[in-house]
Every structure is written in C-alpha cells, then in structure tokens.
Amino acid sequence: MCGIVGYIGKNPALPILFSGLERLEYRGYDSFGFCVLNNNKIDFLCKEKGKISDHCHLRDSKSVGTVGIAHTRWATTGLVTKENAHPHCDCKEEIFIVHNGIIENYKILKENLVKEGHKFISETDTEVLAHLIEKYFEGNLEQAVKLALREVRGTYGIAVVSPKYPNKMVAARMSSPLLIGVNSDEFIVASDPSAIITRTRQIIHLDDDEIAVLTPDNFVISKQERESSSWSVRTKKIETIEWNLEEAEKSGYKHFMMKEIMQEPSTIEDAIRGRLYFEGGNVKLGGFENVEDRLRDVSSLVLIGCGTANYACKVGEYMLEEYAGIPTETDIGSEFRYRKSLFSKNAAGIFVSQSGETADTLAALREMKEKGLLTLGVTNVVGSNQARETDAGVYTRSGPEIAVASTKAFIGQLTTLALITVYLGRQREMALVMGNRIIDEISKLPELAQEVLDTKEDIKRIVGKYIDYKDFWYIGRKYNYPIALEGALKLKEVSYVHAEGTAGGELKHGPLALIDENCPTIAICPSDSVYEKMISNIEEIKARNGKVIAIATKGNEDIKKIVDDVIYIPKTLEMLTPILSVIPLHLFSYYFADALGKDIDKPKNLAKSVTVE
C-alpha cells in the first residue's frame, strides 16, 4: 500500500526512481510524485494524479541530480489530488518527504503547527511530518527527523531529503517495511525489494525504531532504545534477495495475474519441496523446530487472515479439525481484535498473510502475543513484520506476487496449511498410514494443478457464454465453501461484476430469492462427502430457472444432465480439493475481466498489501 523509492549515489536519480516506482505501482496507483536534488537546488519536482505508467514521458525529463525520492500513492488521508500526492514539503521547501503508513495523531499535531504559523497545502497526515521536521530543523536533518518522530503516533516508512543538505537522505521505519539496497556506487531506499532488484540484490531490512542516514558513500543505522530514548548505532546484516528479476516481470504474459495463475503448479511444488518425509508419513517444517514441544501441547487454534488469506484460513480450519483433531476457529483480523476472545492456556494462533504486512492481521497477532499465547505464521514475504513477530512459522515460498488480486499465494497458503495439518496431526492421533496417504496425494498436486490449467481454453469459452451477465452466485460446501467465497471475491475484484458466495445449504435461507435466469451460479461440487447435498442445492437453482456452471470431478458424466456447463478437475483427497477447484475460478475471473477490458493487475480502489487498518 503506497510505494517509496529513494536514491543516493553517483548516477542520475530520476530514471532509477522512475523504474523503481513502475515496479511498485501495484502497491498503490492513484497518484505519484518525485523530488530530485542537484547540489543545493531542486532539480526535478513533479506530482501527478493517475498511474505512473500513463506518464512515461517523465522518465526522459531533464534531470541530472543524483539524490531523490519518489512515491506512488494509495489514498488514505485526503482525496486523490495533485496536492495530496507525495513528496510533501515544509513551508520553506527545505524538507521533502515521502511516507507510507498513517500518522494517527496528525490532527492534533496539525492544529498545533497551524497555531505556530505553518501553512499547509494538502489534507494529508504526511505533510504534518514535513512541518514537524521543519520545526526542529536547526541545521541537522537527522536530529530534526528524530525529534519529529518522537511526537508521532502511528506507522511510517519515510525517506527525507533537503536541498540544504543535498548529499544526505534520512530514512526511518515504524511498522511499515523499508529496506536499503546496497550497491558499489549507490544506495536505494525502498518499501519493497521489487523496486531495486534491477540494480542490486544486496539489501538491509530496517527494523522498527531504526533510522538510517545515507550519503553517496556510506550509511549509518541507529536505533532508539524504547526505555531510555537514547540512540545506539546498529550493525546490520546484508541479505541477498533470493528470487530473480524474471519473477518480478510479466515474462510475456499480458498480465501478472495470468502469469501468477500459470505459476500455481510450481507454487505447490515450491511449498512442498524438501518438506515431505515419506518414510515417516510426515512433513518436515524447519520453521516449527524451535516450538515442537509447545505445539504438542496446543489444545485449540485460531486462524486469522484477511480477504483471500482468510478464506485459506477457513479451509485450514476444516483440515485441522478433521485430520489433526484440534478445535479450530477462523476470524478476520479486523474483527478479532475487537472481540473479547476467550482462550485456553494452550491456545495458539496461526496468522496467514501473503505480504506479512496486513495491518489488521498484524494487530490481531500483537493482541494474541500480549495474551502470552503461541503465535505461528504462514507468510510469503521473507523478513516481513509478520514473519519477524510470530514465534515460529512456515514460509509459503510462493515468490513475488505482483497482481493485486491474490491467486498463486492462496494456493501456497492452502498447500502450507495442508502440510501443517499433517505435522500437527502426526504429533497427535494421525496414523502413519494416513500421514502417508495425505503426503502422497500432496505430492501429486503440481501435476494435477497443471491438468486443470490445461483446460483454460474451455474456461475461456464458457466465460464467453456468460459475459453479459451482471450478477453471479457461487456455492460450495465444507472444504469448498471458502472456495465459493474466494471465487466470488476474485470475480468482483478484477471484473467489477457483482458476485456473492454462500454455503450451498444457506441458499434456501435467503439468497434463493435472487436466483433466476439472470443470475448464474457457479457450483463447486467435486465427488466428495457433500456431493449429494450439493446436487440438491443445484436442483433448487434449476427449479428457479437459474443457470449453473459446475466444477466437478473428472469422470462425472451424470452432472452434465443437470447443469448448463461443467469444468472438470482431477480427483484428489477431499481435504485437498480446494487447491484444484479454485484454479478454474481464478481463470474464470481473469478471462471475464479481460473480456471486459479491465485493468486486471490494478483494480480500481484496491492496492496490494493493506498496511492501514
């Protein structure tokens, strides 16, 4: 959500900032801006509404400055206007800042600053920071930033420059990701590694309460001690980005979403690589080693995630209850923290998130930590807040997901939750033979997922038949109930067509009132323990002239007699069917949105990684 790039080095900053922003645009894309310095002058200053990709001419603007900051925005405080776009500056245009996050006490700070004579031109919380730094700016930029940050409450990843000190950049972080890309003749500050991968793979993650002061040749990172408020210099480890440039590019696909759906089989492969232990009918999860004994004592679980990740949790709930025998419940982050949750002493939380930066999920995680309960993560992004703050966790290894709508990351989450189910099950009553059966089926999933993808032309043809419909219903039961929710979310998200998901059994409790020849239903009905019940639900729909597209198990010819269209998926264990049944739904949403000409990778009003509550 929003993206930051800052450059300080020996090369012209603008083209580097520009291509960094292009790569970050998936995190927010309603407006953007740059500030480049050349010696004591502002060399290039620009803010625009809209997407940076619609303003490519700016890349070639005349600018030779070698220090600069840039930002792509997803509006939170203040409308989408040029004035509200970053960078923001102080009254004297001596402090320029880009910011991700939210300054929660900005209103009171602004009131005081206005009383002191500061003039504001935007509605944003970020501009307050610029003026606050100005207030403390007495010839030492980093000191002014430190003093200003002492007054703010909230979250921030910031980069600050000043034409008065053109060879310096100050960056700081509190609960909003920020890293420094380290190269032989330059440093690049960014909120996301994809912004810097074309120039360097060597990075340093900033931690909360840390501040970095960068010059073209050097940088110093210091941390404020919470108790004493004093600052101490930190030595940080340089890490290497594991994934390569190709993974952050479209590689010939029209959209990232399609590329990522096509990666779903390899996502499963990556999630299970080296983790299946056939002899022991078990899985090896290195991330759980340190808490192995505590996990044995866990008596109940709560699974928490938002949006698509929450639907993965819901599937996980069915898996864990049925196969690990652990009482499990699922909640969304934004609700969990306001509940008076009652936990037994040995309860544990599993937090599921692609980005590991979703504010609502993190808030729920912190809430559970405060209660002294064990917290576990299922996270994709290495080094994210969630990955650092959970007691233990398992990475999904899904690689960078750039399209705003989550697809392959969901597959990675489901696969990882299946592995965790085997792990916790084998610690309890699950027999070796059952452990073996599940991991054997898991090992076949990449091939089966590929089989589903190979039917993509049929799915595209079916989309063509339904493209004029304005409302869709999705139904499923048990393991595939959350998949109905995911299918509906994906369709509305990328095509802006109204879609709703319900448990099949709930249809007659209300939604059936809306079913007629104008509202087709996608029914997820593999041949499993609830198949007969699903058929009853489909018949209820057919009796009201509703059209039905079924997702059914290969070989089920009978279903063709009842429904209008069928998409087949191969047979697998019931608990694993969601991993296959969701693939056609991802493809359906993609082709639907593409046929309508939507901006698939960057749906309106949305952004990747929701770092605000």
Which active-site residues does the annotation give? Answer: 2, 608
Closest to 47 (Cα-Cα) out of 34, 62, 28, 29: 34
Q: Which stretch binds ligand F6R (CB under 6 A): 292-300, 307-315, 322-330, 510-518?
A: 307-315
Least gap, CB of 405 to ligand F6R (angstroms): 4
Question: What tokens were used for 118?
Answer: 């500061």
Residues 430 and 416: their CA atoms lie apart, in Å, by: 18
Binding segment for ligand F6R (CB under 6 A), chosen from 192-200, 243-251, 305-313, 473-481, is 305-313
The piece of 2-10, 351-359, 417-425, 469-477 that touches ligand F6R (CB under 6 A) is 351-359
Instruction: Report the nearest approach of ligand F6R to the CB of residue 487 (Å).
Output: 11
Task: From 1, 608, 42, select the one nearest 307 (Cα to Cα).
Answer: 608
CB of 250 to ligand F6R, least distance (A): 18
Roughly what angle, to the nearest 10 degrees, separates helices 481-495 and 577-595? 20
306 binds ligand F6R (CB under 6 A): yes
What residues contact 350, with CB distance under 8 A and at least 6 apart? 301, 302, 303, 304, 313, 316, 376, 377, 378, 417, 420
Q: Which two tokens mark 504?
A: 């099949």
CB of 523 to ligand F6R, least distance (A): 21
Query: Before 87, cis peptide (omega within 30)?
Result: yes
Question: With respect to ligand F6R, which residue has the nearer C-beta, 441 or 493?
Answer: 493
Cα-flanking dihedrals φ and ψ of residue 105, to 5°?
-100, 30
What residue type is 162 in one-letter code? Answer: S
Distances in Å between the Cα of 304 and the Cα atoms of 20, 205, 307, 309, 501 are 32, 25, 10, 8, 20
Residue 354 touching ligand F6R (CB under 6 A): yes
* 198 CA to centre of own chain: 22
Distance CA 473, CA 175 (A): 38
393 near ligand F6R (CB under 6 A):
no
Minimum CB separation of residue 412 from ligand F6R in Å reads 10
Check residue 76 for interaction with ligand F6R (CB under 6 A).
Answer: no
Beta bridge partners of 71: 4, 33
Under rule CB under 6 A, residue 548 binds ligand F6R: no
> Between residues 358 and 502, which has the closer beta carbon with respect to ligand F6R?
358
Binding mask 499-528 for ligand F6R (x = CB under 6 A): ------------------------------
Distances, alpha carbon 302 to alpha carbons 292, 344, 365, 376, 597, in Å: 18, 11, 11, 10, 40
Q: Tell me the β-bridge partners of 99.
A: 158
The least CB distance from residue 285 to ligand F6R, in Å, is 20
Q: Which is nearer to ligand F6R, 135 or 586 (CB)?
A: 586
**Which one among 33, 68, 307, 511 touches ligand F6R, defined by CB under 6 A?**
307
**Whether 409 contacts 398, CB under 8 Å:** yes
Q: Does 309 bind ligand F6R (CB under 6 A)?
A: yes
Site string for ligand F6R, 356-375 (x = CB under 6 A): --x--x--------------
Minimum gap (Å) between residue 545 Cβ and ligand F6R: 31
Contact set for ligand F6R, span 462-501 (CB under 6 A): 489, 493
Q: Which residue is nearest to ligand F6R (CB)?
A: 307
Residues in contact with ligand F6R, shown as a per-residue x/- string from 399 to 418 under the rule CB under 6 A: ------xx------------
Picking from 503, 432, 436, 491, the residue whose alpha carbon sits closest to that of residue 467 is: 491
Residue of 355, 385, 421, 537 interacting with ligand F6R (CB under 6 A): 355
Binding to ligand F6R (CB under 6 A) within 179-208 occurs at none
Position 267 contacts ligand F6R (CB under 6 A): no
Distance CA 210, CA 233 (A): 9
Sign of the CA dihedral 484, 490, 491, 493?
A: positive
Q: How many residues bind ligand F6R (CB under 6 A)?
A: 15
Interacting residues toward ligand F6R by CB under 6 A: 306-309, 353-355, 358, 361, 405-406, 489, 493, 609-610
